[in-house]
């Protein structure tokens, strides 16, 4: 896999990360090196193997639904870069 300018820009858009033009070359070679490394898995036969997403052999545990007063709106909003009227505030999204 080659990471040219366009594919890096596309990946950046998907990841919401701006790709710095001065780092295009080094980023391209770093990512290509990592992809080459993980591509070695392609030769392994996994035809009849089930995927593992979690190593813990336990079904989900239910807990009592009890109200608690941690993480109140006031506490949470203290970490918000901008807030208004008990809401997080962001740049305008509707033209």
Partner 1 sequence: MKINLNFIEACSLLEKNETTSVELTKIYLKNIKEAKELNCFNTISAEQALDDAEKSDIRRKQGKLKSRFDGIPIGVKDLFCTKNIKTTASSKILSNFIPSYESTVTQNCIDAGLISLGKLNCDEFAMGSTNKTSFYGPVTNPWKSNKSEAKLVPGGSSGGSAAAVAADLCVVSLGTDTGGSIRQPASFTGTVGLKPTYGRVSRWGIIAFASSLDQAGPITKTVEDAAALLEIIAGHDPKDSTSSIKEKESFLDNLNSSVKGIKIGIPKEFKSDGLPVSTQKAWDDCKKLLQSNGAELIDISLPHTMDALPTYYIIAPAEASSNLARYDGVRFGIREEGENLIEMYEKTRSIGFGDEVKRRILIGTYVLSSGYYDAYYIKAQKIRSLIKNDFNQAFEKVDAILTPSTPSTAFEIENEPNDPVQTYLNDVFTVPINLAGIPAISIPFTNDENNLPIGLQLITNSFEEQKLLNIAKNVQDTINYKSVPKNWWKS
Minimum separation from the CB atom of position 16 to partner 1 (A): 5
**Closer CB to partner 1, 4 or 88, in the complex:** 88
Judged by the rule CB under 8 A, the positions of this chain that interact with partner 1 are 11-12, 14-18, 20, 23, 27, 30-31, 33-35, 37-42, 44, 46, 49-58, 60-61, 63-64, 70-72, 75-76, 78-82, 88, 90-93
Give the three-state DSSP class for 9: helix
Q: Are 18 and 12 in contact (CB under 8 A)?
A: yes
């Amino acid at each position: 896999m080659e990471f040219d300018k366009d594919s890096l820009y596309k990946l950046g858009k998907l990841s919401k990360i701006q790709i710095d033009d001065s780092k295009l070359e080094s980023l391209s070679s770093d990512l290509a090196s990592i992809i080459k490394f993980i591509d070695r898995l392609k030769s392994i036969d996994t035809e009849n193997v089930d995927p593992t997403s979690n190593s813990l052999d336990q079904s989900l545990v239910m807990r009592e639904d009890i109200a608690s007063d941690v993480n109140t709106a006031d506490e949470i909003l203290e970490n918000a870069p901008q807030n208004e009227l008990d809401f997080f505030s962001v740049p305008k999204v509707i033209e």
